[in-house]
Structure 1
Amino acid sequence: MPKITKIEVQKKNKERFNLYLDGEFEMGIDMDTYIHFNLKKDQIVEAQDMEKIQNYDQYRQAVNTAIQYISYRKRTDHEVIKHLQKKEVSELVIAKVIEYCHDQRLIDHNDYANSLKNTMILTTDKGPGIFKEKLREAGVEQIIIDNYVERYEAEQPLEAIVKVANKILRQKKGPIVKRKEKLTQSLIQKGYSFEKIKEVMDEMDFSQPEEELDGLLQQELEKVYNKHSRKYSGRKLINKTIEGLMRKGYKYDKIKGKLEESGIVDGTEEIE
């Protein structure tokens, strides 16, 4: 029957060993496998023994792969499973690895959600909606998601969101009514609810100096008028210009006044 003739430490990995049977290299094993089976030179190993050693070492390699993956940041079952599947680890072994990770508290979905919550609140401008989506994508259970989304909403400072909103507002151009629409869209995309957006907007100053609005209208009038003048003329051109400016949030009376001021109309024209 096969006998272990040599066990040597691998040159490139001191945590693994080369196992020789009857003078021939058989397989590599890790230290835990070596200790678990109490392997030693001159030990007789039958076929069923070798199968157990091989299976256990595959499991240990998968455990080490999972530990290394988790060492970079906290992970969920779903993330670890996907990672091991890419490494072509069998489903049976993956199940055992996940059980090991839970036993050793290497995977804890409550801890994962709490850590992600703290990180996102401190380092991003994203709202609870984005946080919720990240937890879903990571495979966190719905009951945990609901719990930590509620905590996220309670712990994210309102003044921090107002600061984000004011920054966005400064980047938007045009009449304040249009800027508020764009601000709402941006905050929704960042994961904030309509209720929170309203609360934030109640804290903001949306006043806009008349001279600023007048200057913006003049710039937009020139752009829109020149654009449509390539295709239209006369009353059609005027109507298209007015329609285009109204879509941008400018009021009809302001547009007519600016058209008259620019000499484009004489005050009698109306939109058809």
Structure 2
Amino acid sequence: MPKITKIEVQKKNKERFNLYLDDEFEMGIDVNTFVHFNLKKGQIVDAKDMQQIQDFEQYRQAINDAIQYISYRKRTDYEVQQHLAQKDFSDTVIAQVIDYCYEQRLLDNRDYANSLKNTMLLTTDKGPTVFKQKLVKAGVSPSIIEDYVRRYEEEQPLDDIVKVAAKISKQKKGPEIKVKEKVTQSLMQKGYTFERINDVFEELDISQSEDELNHLLQRDLEKSYNKYARKYEGQKRVNKTIEALMRKGYKYDKIKDKLEESGIIDGTEEIE
């Protein structure tokens, strides 16, 4: 039967050893594998022994890989499972590693959710829906997700969301109804619920002065009227202009007044 003839420390990693059987290199082993089997020179190892050593070494490699993966930032058990699966470790070994990580308190999905919550609330302007999506992607269980999404909503100050909405509204010019629509879309994309957005609009003033709206209407009228000149003539051109302006949120009577003010009667006029 094979005999261990040499065990030497690897040059590049003092925590690993090279194992030789009958003067031939057999495999590299982790220091924990070395200690676990109490390996020593002159020891006889049969096929069963070697299989146990190889299995344990795979387990130790997977543990080391998982620990390194977790060291960069907090991980969920699902993330660790996926990471190890990509490294071609067996399901059995992965399950053993997950158990080990829980025993050593290296994994805690509640702690992961709480940490992500705190980080996002401090560093982003995202709402609870985005937070929930990240937890789902990380494989957190529905019960934990429900609990921490609720906490996220409770801990995110309404004033902070109002500031986000105010910043968005300043970039959106036009009738109030359209500004509100665009702000709503932006907030939804950031992960806020309709209920929360309604709360925001109770605190947010998006009104614009009559002079500003008048100026915007004149600008948009000129753009639309000149645009439709390429395709339409006469009253058709006027009607298309009115439709375009109403889609932008302008009121019909305001549009009619502005058309008359601009001297547009039958669509044959040009606006400079």
How big is the shift at 1:76? 1.0
Q: Name the TM-score, length of structure 1 as normaliser.
A: 0.96
Correspondences of 1:164-179 after superposition (within 5 Å) = 164-179=164-179
> Matched residues in 1 for 2:48 and 2:27: separation?
15
Deviation for aligned residue 1:265: 2.0
Consecutive unaligned residues in structure 1, runs of 5 or more: 267-272
* C-alpha contact 2:169 2:206 (8 A) present in aligned 1: no
> Partner of 1:44 in structure 2?
44
Equivalent residue for 1:242?
A: 242
Once the two structures are superposed, residues 79-110 of structure 1 have per-residue CA deviations (whole angstroms, 9 ceiling, x without a partner) of: 11111111111111111111111111111100
Task: State the match for 1:91 in structure 2.
Answer: 91
Separation (CA, whole Å) in 1 of partners of 2:56 and 2:25: 18
Deviations 1:117-143 (A, max 9, x none): 001100111111111111111110111
In structure 2, distance between residues paired with 1:238 and 1:167: 35
Distance 1:148 1:56 in 2: 38
Paired with 2:80 and 2:227, the residues of 1 have a C-alpha distance of 55
Compute the displacement of 1:250 (Å). 0.7
Gaps of 5+ in 2: 267-272
* Percent identity over paired residues: 71
CA distance in 2, matches of 1:97, 1:183: 47
Equivalent residue, structure 2, for 1:62: 62
Pair 1:226 & 2:222 matched: no
Q: Is the 8 A contact 2:179 2:206 kept in 1?
A: no
Equivalent in the alignment of 1:180: 180
In structure 2, the partner of 1:114 is 114
Distance, in Å, in 2 between the alignment partners of 1:30 and 1:59 is 10
Residue 266 of structure 2 is aligned to residue 261 of structure 1:
no
Secondary structure of residue in 1 paired with 2:48: helix
Offset at residue 260 of structure 1 (A): 1.1
The aligned runs of 1:133-212 (5 Å cut-off) are 133-212=133-212
Partner of 1:269: none
Matched length:
266
Deviations 1:183-238 (A, max 9, x none): 11111111111111111111111221111111111111111111111100101000
State the partner residue of 2:10.
Answer: 10
Which amino acid in 1 is paired with 2:25?
F
More moved, 112-121 vs 255-264: 255-264
Secondary structure (helix, strand or coil) at the match of 2:130 reads helix
SS of equivalent residue, structure 2 residue 29? strand
Q: Which amino acid in 2 is paired with 1:130? A: V
Give the AA of the match of 1:113. Answer: A
What is the rounded CA distance, in whole Å, between the counterparts of 1:165 and 1:67 in structure 2?
A: 41
